[in-house]
Amino acid sequence: MRVLLVEDDELIGKAIVAGLSKHGITVHHVGTACEAEAAQQEDTFHALVLDLGLPDRDGMELLASARAFEPGLPVLILSARDAIEHRLMGLQGGADDYMVKPFDLRELAARLHALIRRTQGRAAQTITAGPLRLEPDTGLAWFKGEAITLSRREVDLLTHLANADNRWMSSDLLNERLYGLGEEVSSNALNVHIHNIRRKLGSQSIETARGLGYRLGWRLTP
């Protein structure tokens, strides 16, 4: 299990990273909302652990943006704000669970495992094409039966290509699907994602044709 931890207190963050590792949970620790959004865009996580008192933005704002970017991501708020109003606001704002500091690391690990079990118990969309199996909602992927790690953008790109059902997709269309119309993106961002996917899945995973664009290299399995 891989978790994104957003906690601005370095000592608390290090303690959580060390403590959860003993329970089979790998933690990527960042200290700001900006770093959290960048990490979510470039990597895949099974859950988000969120402190509300962040230096650059309120945690509730980050919760909203994380939910908009990845609706199915389980979120656990970990905060010193212990009033019932704060807990209700967090849960009503989209969090799946709320723990108050100070806390026991064993309970935090248990709650995260329970969140993941509930998420994986939902009927998730699964895309199967050739040797690739992909769950777009969770970001989980398998290649030739082995689990592989794909970034969130790589998962989204493969999902869009798969949903095109063997039709070619232009660079402009893929950039629009991945980033939207309002987001600024570097001219070679798409090429970087395609290069990384081919490195992980093989050169045949994404086909290219001049004047047509890109398509998935394998046909979907019904």
More confident of the two residues 10 and 120: 10
Distance separating alpha carbons of residues 112 and 11, to the nearest angstrom = 21
> What's domain 2-121's superfamily in CATH?
Response regulator (3.40.50.2300)
Q: Confidence band (pLDDT; 50, 70, 90) for 152? A: confident
Residue type at position 171:
S
CATH 1.10.10.10 residue ranges for the chain: 127-216
At residue 121, the pLDDT reads 60
Q: Confidence band (pLDDT; 50, 70, 90) for 42? A: confident
Average pLDDT, the chain: 89
Q: Which CATH class is domain 127-216?
A: mainly alpha
Q: Is the pLDDT of residue 124 over 60?
A: no
CATH 3.40.50.2300 residue ranges for the chain: 2-121
Return left, alpha or beta for 51; rule: phi > 0 is left, psi -120 to 50 is alpha, else beta.
beta
Coil, strand or helix at 151:
coil
Q: Report the predicted TM-score, pTM, of the whole model to 2 decimal places.
A: 0.62
More confident of the two residues 11 and 178: 11
